[in-house]
Structure 1
Amino acid sequence: MEVHQLEYFIAVAETGSFSRAAERCHVAQPSLSQQIKKLEQEIGQPLFNRSRKGVSLTEAGQLLLPRAHAILAEIQNIRPNLEREVQEGKGKVSVGFIPTVAPFVLPRVIRSFRTLYPGATLAVHEDLTQALVSGLIEGSLDVAITSLPVHHPLIETDELLTETLMVAIPREHLAAQSDDLTVHELERYPFIALSEMHCLGEQVRAFCSQQNVDLQIVCHTAQLSTVQSCVVLGLGISLVPQALAVSDDSGQVVYRRVTDAVPQRKIAAAWYVRRRLSFLARELIRLVRQEYPQENQPPCA
């Protein structure tokens, strides 16, 4: 059953004539008649009583007519209804976050997203960059929030912000007495390092290598929260995202800047290059940029 067949059927029913219906539909009468016959064959019974006086609906035709009107009305409303539902935020979006970003922005993003789009479904996944890239390509993720660079030809990225890495120091530590540190002062103290399985760990290693800094690493850990705990216990210092400094209200850690060579990372949204970002995915990216902890909030004592 095709849409134009229903249109022809309605035209014949309303005009009572195949010829007038053909004129109304701007098609040749033989073509219209052929399509009506195909429709009758598909339904399995005649839709019109044909006579010299004209045509009238059979019982089957009478039953089909309101259904045909309803089908065409629904088809005509598909586009405006879809546009309205998209703007209202109805639908589903699946997003991935790397573990060194998720704790600082994800709760805020979820709260804002649910407030703005209560009719939407938000699925959240936290994993390493490689797993998020696989999810984007396989289609289980619509968008991922990660840090640059992302080395994959099928992944497109949009840089959202540049984040400074801060030196996390135990409050009673000697280094906490300085307002800022030089990059080579990092060599003087035991260092708590995040595993290079995380892009942040690799970024810290690369930064120190570029600056010819030989860190005294006393602990490798797989979790940023463990890095923070080790700093609190006085086991050493570390380089951590500014978002952690902004979010930390414990008062147990002091955060200082590296003045002569600023370590940074770039936070970005990533998606599969062959997949168009949905309205909800674009809105989620906007919220990440909006809600990411900013420098004017830090509790850096």
Structure 2
Amino acid sequence: MELAGLEAFVAVAESNGFSAAGERLRLTQPAVSKRIAALEQHLGRRLFDRVGREVALTEAGRALLPRARRILAEMDDTRRALGNLDQAVGGRLTLATSHHIGLHRLPPLLRGFIRSHPQAAVDIRFLDSEHAWSEVLHGRLELAITTLGPAAPPLHAVPVWDDPLEFVVAPDHPLAARRRASLRDLAAHPAVLPDPSTFTHRIVAERFAADGLSVRLHMTTNAMETLKMLAGVGLAWSVLPHTMLDDSTVVLRVPGVRLRRRLGYVTHGGRTLSNAARAFMALLDAAAKPGTS
């Protein structure tokens, strides 16, 4: 069974289509179809039902998918282990990060890595933290640089940055003139926050719940820049990282309440990391030292 066929199979299954799989693999759609047809012939089973442009896994396809993922992950692990023998920092480093971290934390680290290791190719994927953790867990990414939540084996989370959060409102919001508010005051007004499934939303909601309060949620979006805009135009109050504050919003001081996130990186404890990943982690570890921004 050729690995190329398994790669095409997993790509079609995860992309829900041959065209999207072709874009992911940098192949034409006919090339993807040819690989799937060869794999189906080899296995003697149809793997996808094709109805118009829609594709769905057959029973055989559903049985093969987790096994195909494991085979591909083991091969990637083997390639990295063998590639590490020469100690060179090269090849492709595939990592995920959020837009916020990518904009506000990573640029100097990326610049330093690219200059120090020109033979390495960096493939950056912008994902929500929870999605990035899932990609690391399933072996599709070596490294995720995200907001950190509770980590359990086989995932390993390392804090790098402390990220204080501030309650913000528009300059003309009813609470803005006071510059101070209680959680009860905020609970009486609508909020815009990240999705309830995110680590950041949980931090906020759990703090309100500790006082027997709930957040009056108006809408959600996981893009911090969008939250900043929505709060700035007066739609609702929000919570933003301290690094994003400017004159478009007013910070509300809430006595006795200090919210903060931990930002850092996540790896899979059972996977062999490439030399490129280890080199980038060394930069992250250096950034975590006191006095380093």
TM-score normalised by L of structure 1: 0.58
Once residues 160 and 186 of structure 2 are traced to their aligned partners in structure 1, the CA distance between those partners, rounded to angstroms, is 29
Aligned residues: 211
Once residues 178 and 115 of structure 2 are traced to their aligned partners in structure 1, the CA distance between those partners, rounded to angstroms, is 43
Once residues 224 and 271 of structure 2 are traced to their aligned partners in structure 1, the CA distance between those partners, rounded to angstroms, is 32
Is residue 108–residue 291 contact of structure 1 (8 Å, CA) maintained in 2?
no
Q: After TM superposition, list the pairs within 5 Å mapping 1:19-168 onto structure 2.
A: 82-83=86-87, 85=88, 89-168=89-168
Is residue 173–residue 234 contact of structure 1 (8 Å, CA) maintained in 2?
yes
Cα displacement (A) at 1:237: 1.0
Once residues 97 and 267 of structure 2 are traced to their aligned partners in structure 1, the CA distance between those partners, rounded to angstroms, is 12
Cα displacement (A) at 1:290: 6.3
Q: After TM superposition, list the pairs within 5 Å mapping 1:168-179 onto structure 2.
A: 168-179=168-179
Partner-residue secondary structure (3-state), 1:258: coil
Residue 199 of structure 1 is matched in structure 2 by: 199
Is residue 205–residue 214 contact of structure 2 (8 Å, CA) maintained in 1?
no
What letter matches 1:136 in structure 2? V
Q: Structure 1 residue 235 and structure 2 residue 239: aligned?
A: no
Structure 1, 175-184 or 220-229: larger mean CA deviation: 175-184
Cα displacement (A) at 1:126: 1.6
Query: What 5-or-longer segments of structure 1 have no aligned partner?
Result: 1-77
Is residue 146–residue 269 contact of structure 1 (8 Å, CA) maintained in 2?
yes
Once residues 180 and 287 of structure 1 are traced to their aligned partners in structure 2, the CA distance between those partners, rounded to angstroms, is 39
TM-score normalised by L of structure 2: 0.60
Cα displacement (A) at 1:255: 2.8
Partner-residue secondary structure (3-state), 2:276: helix
Once residues 290 and 174 of structure 1 are traced to their aligned partners in structure 2, the CA distance between those partners, rounded to angstroms, is 43
Partner-residue secondary structure (3-state), 2:281: helix
Residue 257 of structure 2 is matched in structure 1 by: 261
Once residues 216 and 134 of structure 2 are traced to their aligned partners in structure 1, the CA distance between those partners, rounded to angstroms, is 35
The C-alpha deviation readout for 1:174-223, integer Å capped at 9, x for no partner, is 43334554433322433222211332223222222123233333233343
Once residues 215 and 197 of structure 1 are traced to their aligned partners in structure 2, the CA distance between those partners, rounded to angstroms, is 14
Once residues 91 and 286 of structure 2 are traced to their aligned partners in structure 1, the CA distance between those partners, rounded to angstroms, is 22
Partner-residue secondary structure (3-state), 1:153: coil
Once residues 186 and 196 of structure 1 are traced to their aligned partners in structure 2, the CA distance between those partners, rounded to angstroms, is 18
Structure 1, 118-127 or 95-104: larger mean CA deviation: 95-104
Once residues 257 and 116 of structure 1 are traced to their aligned partners in structure 2, the CA distance between those partners, rounded to angstroms, is 43
Residue 190 of structure 1 is matched in structure 2 by: 190
Is residue 189–residue 216 contact of structure 2 (8 Å, CA) maintained in 1?
yes
Query: What 5-or-longer segments of structure 2 have no aligned partner?
Result: 1-81
